[in-house]
Amino acid sequence: MTDKTSNQMWGGRFAAGPDAIMEAINASIGFDQRMAAQDIAGSRAHAAMLAATGVITDSDADAIREGLLTVLSEIESGNFQFSTALEDIHMNVEARLKEIIGEPAGRLHTGRSRNDQVATDFKLWVRDQFDAAEKGLLALIGALVDQAEAGADWVMPGFTHLQTAQPVTWGHHMMAYVEMFGRDLSRVRDARKRMNESPLGSAALAGTSFPINREMTAEALGFDRPTANSLDAVSDRDFALEFLSTASICAMHLSRFAEELVIWSSAQFRFVTLSDRFSTGSSIMPQKKNPDAAELIRAKVGRIFGANTALMMVMKGLPLAYSKDMQEDKEQVFDAADNWMLALAAMEGMVKDMTGNRDSLAAAAGSGFSTATDLADWMVRVLKVPFRDAHHVTGALVAMAEGRGVDLPDLTLEDMKSVHEGITEDIFSVLGVENSVNSRMSYGGTAPAQVRAQVARWKEILG
């Protein structure tokens, strides 16, 4: 005899209902209710297909499709009573449909299982997030290109090892991030394309004996085609992992830029002023203006990469096909998606609002012997000295300047000649930072003309 407390969806072979702890560990409704719209879209497509193929009647399909819209509006308006006993979004929706339309509701699950259903819902949800990420990235790239254009010829120090290396331009530095986020954008588009196959109709794992039409449901849900192997379709979470790994790489880029903004906005650097709208104050130190948004963006990579690692670990030991372990995929992806979108939007806002401090940037650009390489290159070019010797001579001149507490352009021609006879007055033409950056005209180099060419290329891409 079936116990009254056993599950109404599969209680037939059960004599008792679940222990409270079992219910607690088993239920996903607390989080998978976020996929309600996707679940209902999938079910409506499935019902229409079942009618078109003659598996259920048109009138049953109509009742199901109408009833599902009622369920959706109840959920969207907050008038839906989610039940933990009904485990997940799939069974909550179906149970409510039964209350609303009665017997035809029981025909919806023909030729389908929760295994292909959840894979379909989750893919639809992740696909929307890829689209949101694409939009967020395009907006951020646009903001960076605007910054680059405004400061294409502003000089600033370029760093290696966070030590002054050679002067670069503000525009060049901004465009470096445009390249990074551009690769993220291409990863997003690429992954979205790859994942866009419909699992619906794979049923539990083996397909179904009903004469279903998988092309029809695939098309109705905006998929390019149905998946080609039912075992794979119900147990594949590559699309979620590609989402998380793409998000992780992008979050790493966001974090690097955030770190630079934290450094640049400090009183020691003053390269950039962040707007009040993206800063906070201190409750005890009145002078403070903290770059909290940048710091939080810097931290987001931790939880996003954590989600990627967690799901990798969940998946790596699972035999085919579906295992309940896979229910642990959603919270990781939901959290990572929320935080990725938030970080993209916050970075876009910060970049749009920030002011590059042209004078501080220029003052810093000339310090730290940043044109030493230009001096060495001049000796190679004009005096035909081997680069290694020129490097040595320049090192001696840097040591001399350092000893006197001055920069390279402050040395006299006599000072220069005391280290190398052949040096002429012409050397001073290459010691200025403007000349230095203007001379870096190799493709992709820091010269303002190169930066402007890349700005133009990106503006064309962004349309």
Where do contacts with ligand ARG occur on this chain (CB under 6 A)? 28, 32, 88, 114-115, 118, 322, 324, 326-327
Residues 6+ apart with CB under 8 A from 203: 111, 112, 113, 115, 116, 230
CB 112, min distance to ligand ARG, A: 11
Shortest Cβ distance from residue 327 to ligand ARG (Å)?
A: 4
320: left (phi over 0), alpha (psi -120 to 50) or beta: beta
User: Is 282 one of the catalytic residues?
Assistant: yes
> At closest approach, how far in Å is the CB of 201 from ligand ARG?
16
Least distance from ligand ARG to the Cβ atom of residue 328, Å: 8
How many Å apart are CA 251 and CA 271, to the nearest integer? 23
Of the pair 315, 397, the CB lying nearest ligand ARG is at 315
Q: CB 246 → ligand ARG: shortest distance, Å? A: 22
Residue 296 CB, nearest distance to ligand ARG (Å)?
30
Question: Is 161 a catalytic site residue?
Answer: yes
Asked if residue 399 has a cis previous peptide bond (ω within 30° of 0), the answer is: no
Distances (CA, A) of 284 to 281, 290, 421: 9, 13, 60
Q: How far is the CB of 234 from ligand ARG (least distance, A)?
A: 9
Of the two residues 19 and 402, which places its CB atom closer to ligand ARG in the complex?
19
Residue 444 to residue 175: CA distance in whole angstroms: 10
* 157 CB-near residues (< 8 Å, 6+ apart): 164, 165, 167, 168, 361, 364, 365, 367, 368, 370
Which of 29, 344 has the CB closer to ligand ARG? 29
- Could you give the CA distance from residue 447 to residue 435 in angstroms, rounded to a whole number? 9
Exposure letters 346-367 (e unless 16+ CB within 10 A, then b):
bbbbbbbebebbbebbbebbbe
The rounded distance, in Å, linking the Cα atoms of 245 and 305 is 7
Distances 187 to 183, 184, 192, 244, 250 between C-alpha atoms, Å: 6, 5, 8, 11, 9
Q: Locate 232 and state its tokens.
A: 């794979």
Angstrom CA distances, 95 to 82, 90, 108, stand at 10, 9, 11
Rounded least distance, CB 114 to ligand ARG, Å: 4
83, 186, 282, 367: which one is catalytic? 282
SS3 string, 363-403, reads HHHHCCCCCHHHHHHHHHHHHCCCHHHHHHHHHHHHHHHHH
> What string of DSSP letters covers 161-229?
TTEEEEEEEHHHHHHHHHHHHHHHHHHHHHHHHHH-EE-TT-TTTT--SS---HHHHHHHTT-SEE-S-
Cα 135 to Cα 137: distance, rounded to the nearest angstrom: 5
- Tell me how far apart the alpha carbons of residues 125 and 327 are, in angstroms, rounded to a whole number: 14
CB-CB contact of 199 with 119 (8 Å): yes
Residues with catalytic roles = 161, 282
